[in-house]
Amino acid sequence: MTNEPTADLIEVDVLVVGGGPAGSTAATLLARRGRSVLLLEKGHHPRFHIGESLLPMNLPILERLGVLEQVRAIGTFKPGAEFPVDDVNFNTFRFERAIDARFGYAYQVKREEFDQLLFEHARANGVDAREGVKVDRIVFGADGRPAEAHATAEDGRPLRVRMRYLVDASGRDTLVGSQLKLKQKNTLHQSAAIFSHFTGVARRPGEDAGNITVQRFEHGWMWLIPLRQDVMSVGAVCFPEYLKTRRGDNEGFLMRTLESEPAAWNRMQDAVRVAPVHVTGNYSYTCTRMTGPGWVMVGDAYAFVDPVFSSGVYLGMNSAEQAAEVVDGTLADPAREAALQRAMTVRLKRGLKHFQWFIYRFTTPVMQHLFNNPRNVWQVEQAVISMLAGDVFDNRKVLRRLRIFRAIYAITALQLAPKALRGWLRRRRQVGVQVSGDTLQPGNP
């Protein structure tokens, strides 16, 4: 006989797996609808996470959640995004110039503070929010719907959860995607990254001190994200073949990479590293389905794309809002489930495709030429700013002009044909290059 502990059993309306921004958002909104919600997070807040830069379109969601002022208190004011043209000059795209801008700014946040704020807010709204509990697997019933979840607390005690609906907000773990084998490597784009936090990094003067800097370099792009208390998040998203050339310690590789671009390196002269150096492996993927009978994925559980436009947190929270509508609507009227899930999938895929189109081409000579020489013909530049702000789902004025931008891109590609072809071939070559590592690994001390 074994002395295995008996699993505790919890019965709820909704189980949310993952206590990041997407999971906490969905849990909060469903609890406000009167649903009993269990939110399980395998780690403990505060916990490190990449992705500190929010978009203006995050702010209405934060306002609806009732945490905008709290985020303002922990955030760094971000009026725009800047893209260096050469070693000295740069173009700044200010969010206030976006089409129909409601918020002409955003914030940069330390994710450990931001994620903890949202998690605790979910608990304050009636969510049974638990940390240190890992969901191991989902048991599906004969009808194909999730019937039970098996989880384990960090002290080894098992937990069983019976739920009427499952929200998978497990991030890159992609609980449902992995279990049902839905997760697929992105065949169009791959990249890997190395990054850390520093103090003493030079900032822009005045209000521009809070801008994110996105710096292209020969092997990808770099970011400098200003945070509170003189902290700067600094990293490079690289072609996998370049990251595989690293030798020796990761910090040395990161610093040599930054040194290759004077525009970035000049700001690092007094920098002091204050956090581990992290390395990611290939991380672009998409699941073949976003929804199924009795379950829905949100945020990174469904897809993760190159973070060049800081879209991750916004895509997660935006999908969480819509998932809450799907879940609540289905629990109220099960006959509506298919229609609600279909509407969510169509809308979110449409917005994600607009981000992906720009992301896949960002490091090409054609896109570099267009970003270095912006023109506001037919408000196309303002539409690009709207995209950078996250407004890619419902604003038809923006979507129409982004289609015009695609035509301009195609014409420019013909004009720059040899360079454009070389850029395309190099991008395609990266898809087959594998790099190991994960953002959640401790990194170098």
0.85 exceeded by pTM: yes
Strand partners, 37: 14
- Provide mean pLDDT across the span 406-418: 87
Q: In terms of pLDDT, which residue wins out, 342 or 188?
A: 342
Cβ atoms of 13 and 331 closer than 8 Å: yes
pLDDT beyond 60 at 445 = no
- Nearest partner of 372 among 95, 91, 87, 80, judged by Cα: 91
- The per-residue pLDDT for range 237-280, each reduced to its tens digit, is 888 778 778 777 889 999 999 999 999 999 999 999 999 998 87
Please give the Cα distance from 25 to 27 (Å, whole number): 5
Q: What local confidence, expressed as pLDDT, does residue 290 receive?
A: 97
Who contacts 20 (Cβ-Cβ below 8 Å, separation ≥6)?
41, 49, 115, 169, 171, 299, 300, 316
Which segment of 11-25, 84-98, 198-212 scores lowest on mean pLDDT? 84-98
Amino acid at 341: Q
pLDDT beyond 80 at 318 = yes
Please give the Cα distance from 316 to 155 (Å, whole number): 30
Amino acid at 383: A
Confidence of residue 421 (pLDDT cuts 50, 70, 90): low
Q: What local confidence, expressed as pLDDT, does residue 1 receive?
A: 42
Please give the Cα distance from 365 to 369 (Å, whole number): 6
Q: What local confidence, expressed as pLDDT, does residue 89 receive?
A: 81
- Provide mean pLDDT across the span 337-359: 93
- Provide mean pLDDT across the span 394-404: 94
Question: 52 — phi, psi (to 5°)?
Answer: -90, -10
pLDDT beyond 70 at 432 = no
Please give the Cα distance from 215 to 236 (Å, whole number): 9
Who contacts 340 (Cβ-Cβ below 8 Å, separation ≥6)?
325, 326, 329, 330
Q: What local confidence, expressed as pLDDT, does residue 442 receive?
A: 40
Who contacts 69 (Cβ-Cβ below 8 Å, separation ≥6)?
none
Please give the Cα distance from 195 to 318 (Å, whole number): 26
- Nearest partner of 163 among 150, 173, 176, judged by Cα: 150
pLDDT beyond 70 at 331 = yes
Confidence of residue 417 (pLDDT cuts 50, 70, 90): confident
297's enclosing H/E stretch is: strand 295-297
- Nearest partner of 179 among 170, 188, 190, 187, judged by Cα: 170
CB atoms < 10 A from the CB of 204, how many?
Answer: 16
Q: What percent of the chain has pLDDT over 70?
A: 91
Please give the Cα distance from 332 to 326 (Å, whole number): 10
pLDDT beyond 80 at 419 = no
72's enclosing H/E stretch is: helix 68-74
Question: Could you write out the three-class secondary structure of 136-173?
Answer: EEEEECCCCCEEEEEEEECCCCEEEEEEEEEEECCHHH
Question: 349 — phi, psi (to 5°)?
Answer: -65, -35
pLDDT beyond 70 at 186 = no
- The per-residue pLDDT for range 376-391, each reduced to its tens digit, is 999 999 999 999 999 9
- The per-residue pLDDT for range 282-314, each reduced to its tens digit, is 567 889 999 999 999 999 999 988 777 888 899
pLDDT beyond 50 at 47 = yes
277: which DSSP letter?
Answer: B
Q: What percent of the chain has pLDDT over 90?
A: 67
Average pLDDT, the chain: 89
Please give the Cα distance from 26 to 18 (Å, whole number): 10
Q: What local confidence, expressed as pLDDT, does residue 220 receive?
A: 87
pLDDT beyond 90 at 10 = yes
Q: What local confidence, expressed as pLDDT, does residue 361 receive?
A: 84
At residue 263, the 3 state secondary structure works out as helix
- Provide mean pLDDT across the span 129-133: 97
Q: What local confidence, expressed as pLDDT, does residue 213 receive?
A: 94
Q: In terms of pLDDT, which residue wins out, 396 or 187?
A: 396
At residue 161's C-alpha, the angle toward residues 155 and 162, to 5°, is 170
- The per-residue pLDDT for range 97-113, each reduced to its tens digit, is 999 998 999 999 999 99
Which segment of 4-8, 64-68, 439-443 scores lowest on mean pLDDT? 439-443
CA–CA distances in Å: residue 232 to residues 214, 227, 314: 13, 6, 21
Q: Given the DSSP bridges, would you call strands 80-84 and 212-217 parallel, antiparallel or unpaired?
A: parallel
pLDDT beyond 60 at 436 = no
At residue 89's C-alpha, the angle toward residues 84 and 95, to 5°, is 60
Please give the Cα distance from 417 to 141 (Å, whole number): 55
